[in-house]
Amino acid sequence: MDLSLITFVQILVAVIAIICLMVANAVVMVYVERKVAGFIQRRPGPYEVGPWGTIQAICDSMKLLAKQIFVPANVDLVLFFLAPVLAFFPVLLLFLPIPFGPYLTPWKTPDGLVLILAFAGFGVLSNLLAGWASNNKYGVLGAARAVSQSIAYEIPLMLALMAVVFQAGSLNLSVIVEKQGWVPWEWNIVTQPLAFFIYLICLVAETNRAPFDLPEAESELTAGFHTEYSGMGFALFFLSEYANMLLVSFICATFFLGGYKGPIIDGFWWTIIKAYAVMVFIVWIRWTFPRVRFDQLLNINWKWLLPLGLLNLWITAIIIKVVN
């Protein structure tokens, strides 16, 4: 690996651009989520603050910025303030190997998927630290749930992505996109429908979104691992949640939906459109399905998704061996 000056500058520029993307994405997605929730429940959603409520998310973020940061008694101060930062910053790294466009890849590394899967665990670590450090029983319970859920769902997620990797023969995300065509029946969603289905369930569980939002289940644990966080600590958790959503949507678009390929002309706009379609889908299922119980959540994973993922991987391997 040659880390020349040009690569370094390229990564630096990419990191700054990704930070802007993450913050802008959070502001847009807060608005989109509340609006979509409103439409699903037959009400207009945010409407009066700005034209059609467009500056609602900015008002919320400014309010959270000026809110008192409350530190409860007997917390572990270092971990308490480290956890939101740790939730936010490792997500930056995960955007680096994603091919946004044919020429717009922050870092073209041959081991892109390994990088993503290796650093995806940091989100869970931050949830665990947040729950543990805040000296709150709901926090600890939420953190324990977050850990068991994320560790369980990382396995079928990896198996689903490995099936695509077998097919493409590379861990490089740009190569995986290049192997797909621009029309929908040349995408991996057609050749790997089961893997896509497993990945779709796992991405909802990995990002702790409803119906799998057990770590912050409002009806049982007050707010789960971020019960004691107010102001910007809470805002950073919110930001990292939307950044994680954006990340899994981009991976979904890259692996299954043809990435930057599309009709007329290839480019980053197709990646963005596909990723945001997946994001709206995640929001849609959040406001449609009720929350599952925790034993149901783990049963879905260990009894269904994991065997199905293994079976899918096995069949893919056999077919590839036979065809070659």
Partner 1 sequence: MAETTRTIVPQDGIGQAKSELLPPIINLRPINWFFDINRAMSLWPVTFGLACCAIEMMSASMARFDIARFGAEVFRPSIRQADLMMVTGTVSKKMAPAVVRLYEQMPAPKFVLAFGNCAISGGPFKFEGQYGVVEGVDKLIPVDVYVPGCPPRPEAILEGIFSIQEKITGFRWWPKAEEIKS
Q: Where does residue 156 rank: exposed (0-12), middle (13-18), buried (19+ CB within 10 A)?
A: buried
Six-digit token string for 277: 């379609």
Q: Does 68 bind partner 1 (CB under 8 A)?
A: yes
Q: Does 228 bind partner 1 (CB under 8 A)?
A: yes
Q: Does 215 bind partner 1 (CB under 8 A)?
A: no
- The C-alpha atoms of residue 183 and residue 258 are separated, in whole angstroms, by 8
Q: Which is nearer to partner 1, 2 or 48 (CB)?
A: 48
- The C-alpha atoms of residue 41 and residue 180 are separated, in whole angstroms, by 38
Give min distance, CB of 273 to partner 1, in A: 27
Task: List own/partner pairs for 179-185 with CB under 8 A and 24 or more apart.
Answer: 180/258, 180/259, 180/261, 181/258, 181/261, 182/258, 182/261, 182/262, 182/263, 182/266, 183/263, 184/258
Q: Are 274 and 248 in contact (CB under 8 A)?
A: no
Binding-site size, partner 1 (CB under 8 A):
33
Q: Does 108 bind partner 1 (CB under 8 A)?
A: no
Q: Which is nearer to partner 1, 223 or 247 (CB)?
A: 223
Q: Which of 145, 209, 226, 286 binds partner 1 (CB under 8 A)?
A: 226
Six-digit token string for 275: 């990723």
Omega within 30 of 0 (cis) for the link into 211: yes
Q: By three-state DSSP, how is residue 259 classified?
A: coil
Stretch binding partner 1 (CB under 8 A), from 157-165, 226-234, 239-247, 265-273: 226-234
Q: Which of 20, 24, 59, 114 binds partner 1 (CB under 8 A)?
A: 59
Q: Does 77 bind partner 1 (CB under 8 A)?
A: no
Q: Does 213 bind partner 1 (CB under 8 A)?
A: no
Q: Does 90 bind partner 1 (CB under 8 A)?
A: no
Q: Does 46 bind partner 1 (CB under 8 A)?
A: yes
Q: Are 49 and 55 in contact (CB under 8 A)?
A: yes
Q: Which is nearer to partner 1, 179 or 291 (CB)?
A: 291
Give min distance, CB of 130 to partner 1, in A: 12
Q: What are the DSSP calls for 83-114, one per residue?
A: HHHHHHTHHHHHTTT---SSS--S---TTHHH
Stretch binding partner 1 (CB under 8 A), from 80-88, 168-176, 216-224, 300-308: 216-224
Q: Which of 1, 3, 5, 66 binds partner 1 (CB under 8 A)?
A: 66
What is the binding site for partner 1 (CB under 8 A)? 34, 38, 41-49, 53, 56, 58-60, 62-63, 66-70, 218, 222-223, 226-231, 234
